[in-house]
């Protein structure tokens, strides 16, 4: 890749996309002070650099609850029996393969992993726990915290506001 640096316009485009990835190229360009073709070219370049992982939609579970039920969110700490690199990698691969696992973090100073899990109900959580924590082995300890209220959820990464304001 010729130029792998990013500037204030790139940061502004990334910030705007985090707000609303459905904006048209013209709207993105206008918001960031560039033409629609420039916005498109820069965003494609940012994708090629690997800075944009994917475009997604953030759903509102409290609104979907009327049709799908409340669902259950759990934050789960997992400690493994053996922590060798191959054991950590094996558990991580199993965890990320589970559709119900929304987030998977390897952490230090405590458990080996922290997972954020979303399932329809307690029966589905028990089935997941059986597959992920019991059948596969090497799990020493599991501690689950079940959410009773979500006060905030924001997948945005904080970007340097000085650069966003420079556009």
What tens digit of pLDDT does each residue of 44-65 get? 999 999 999 999 888 888 888 8
Q: For domain 8-49, give the fold.
A: Arc Repressor Mutant, subunit A (1.10.10)
Q: Is the pLDDT of residue 138 over 70?
A: yes
Q: Is 51 exposed, middle or buried (0-12, 13-18, 19+ CB in 10 A)?
A: middle
Domain segments of the chain as ranges? 8-49, 61-147
pLDDT-based confidence at residue 165 (cuts at 50, 70, 90): low
In this prediction, residue 166 has a pLDDT band, given cuts at 50, 70 and 90, of low
**pLDDT over threshold 80, residue 140:** yes
Give the separation between CA 18 and CA 167, rounded to whole angstroms.
17
May I ask the CATH architecture of the domain 61-147?
A: 2-Layer Sandwich (3.30)
With a cut of 50, say whether residue 1 has pLDDT above it: no
d(CA 78, CA 70): 25
- In angstroms, the CA 6 to CA 27 distance is 21
DSSP string, 7-50: -HHHHHHHHHHHH-TT--HHHHHHHHTS-HHHHHHHHHHHHHTT
Quote the pTM value.
Answer: 0.84
Residue of higher predicted confidence among 3 and 86? 86
């Amino acid at each position: 890749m010729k130029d792998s640096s990013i500037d204030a316009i790139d940061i502004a485009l990334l910030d705007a996309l985090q707000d609303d990835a459905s904006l048209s190229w013209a709207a993105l360009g206008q918001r960031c002070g560039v033409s629609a073709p420039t916005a498109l070219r820069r965003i494609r370049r940012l994708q090629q650099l690997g800075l944009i992982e994917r475009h997604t939609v953030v759903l509102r579970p409290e609104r979907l609850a009327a049709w799908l039920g409340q669902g259950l969110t759990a934050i789960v700490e997992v400690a493994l029996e053996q922590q060798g690199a191959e054991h950590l990698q094996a558990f991580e691969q199993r965890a990320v393969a589970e559709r119900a696992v929304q987030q998977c973090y390897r952490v230090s100073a405590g458990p080996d992993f922290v997972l954020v899990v979303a399932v329809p109900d307690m029966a589905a959580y028990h089935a997941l726990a059986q597959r992920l924590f019991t059948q596969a082995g090497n799990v020493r300890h599991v501690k689950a915290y079940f959410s009773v209220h979500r006060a905030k959820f924001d997948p945005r990464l904080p970007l340097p506001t000085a650069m966003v304001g420079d556009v």
